[in-house]
Amino acid sequence: MPEIQLQRLRPDHAPALLAFERENRAFFAASVPDRGDDYFTDFAARHAALLAEQETGACHFHVLVAEDGEILGRFNVVNVADGSADLGFRLAEKATGRGLATEAVRQILKACERTYGLTTVRAAAALTNTASRAVLTRMGFVLTGEELVLSGKRGVGYVRHLPAETPTAAPAPTPTPTPT
């Protein structure tokens, strides 16, 4: 199986990311809000703005990259504040059904806890987006009871509380035996 990696968004991802968004636009529109024509027209400026925003720590953008450099998905942690953030993700149509989204979300949650210092991650999905809802449930997200409207579609909110990482205490020094 070819190697697929979750990578933090970088400037050199731009061409592959634009291709990913164009190739999957109709597929995404069936279950997530469409980005609109301006997104594609102003892609270079938007990509630069995302990278600048990422530098502030207010968000963390990731892409799922195939061995040949093709982007198969994007996983975004946004609205980072006070130990919490929102997770959003989309996977290329041809990459669905292989467990890639589940594994990427698993890696994102580890980064949220260990690297980004988060304790709560929220997500939302349209009721018709059964694949994303299944991924969220598999990864321990629970329904919040919040009913949402996502681009005109009924949706639901999810939350996942991350265990606080316990600092590892330095072991107590072992006493050196005294010669008798």
Tens of pLDDT, residue by residue over 62-81, are 999 999 999 999 999 999 99
What is the pLDDT at residue 176? Answer: 39
* DSSP code, position 102: H
Window from 2-11, 33-42, 122-131 with minimum mean pLDDT: 33-42
Q: Which fold has domain 4-161?
A: Aminopeptidase (3.40.630)
CA-closest candidate to residue 141, choices 90, 92, 105: 105
Q: Is 177 a residue whose pLDDT tops 90?
A: no
Instruction: Copy the structure tokens of residue 3.
Output: 């190697």
Tokens of 93: 């149509």
Residue 103 has φ and ψ, to the nearest 5°, of -65, -40
pLDDT at 2: 61
Phi, psi dihedral angles at 38 (to 5 degrees): -60, -30
The model's pLDDT over 105-159, given as tens digits with 9 standing for 90+, comes to 999 999 999 999 999 999 999 898 899 999 999 999 999 999 898 878 899 999 9
pLDDT of residue 118: 96
Task: Give the torsion sign (CA, 77, 45, 65, 126).
Answer: positive
- Tokens representing 111? 């980064």
pLDDT score for 37: 83
Select the highest-mean-pLDDT range: 21-35, 91-105, 157-171: 91-105
Residue 178 has pLDDT above 90, yes or no: no
List strand residue ranges (DSSP E) for the chain, in order.
4-8, 60-66, 71-81, 84-91, 120-126, 142-150, 153-161
The Cα angle at residue 82 between residues 80 and 88, in degrees rounded to 5? 30
Q: Where are the domains of the chain?
A: 4-161
Look at 172 and 98; give whichever has higher pLDDT.
98
Does 95 score more than 70 pLDDT? yes
Q: Provide the pLDDT for residue 163.
A: 79
Using 50, 70 and 90 to split pLDDT, how confident is the model at 35? Answer: confident
**Amino acid identity for residue 71 in this structure:** I
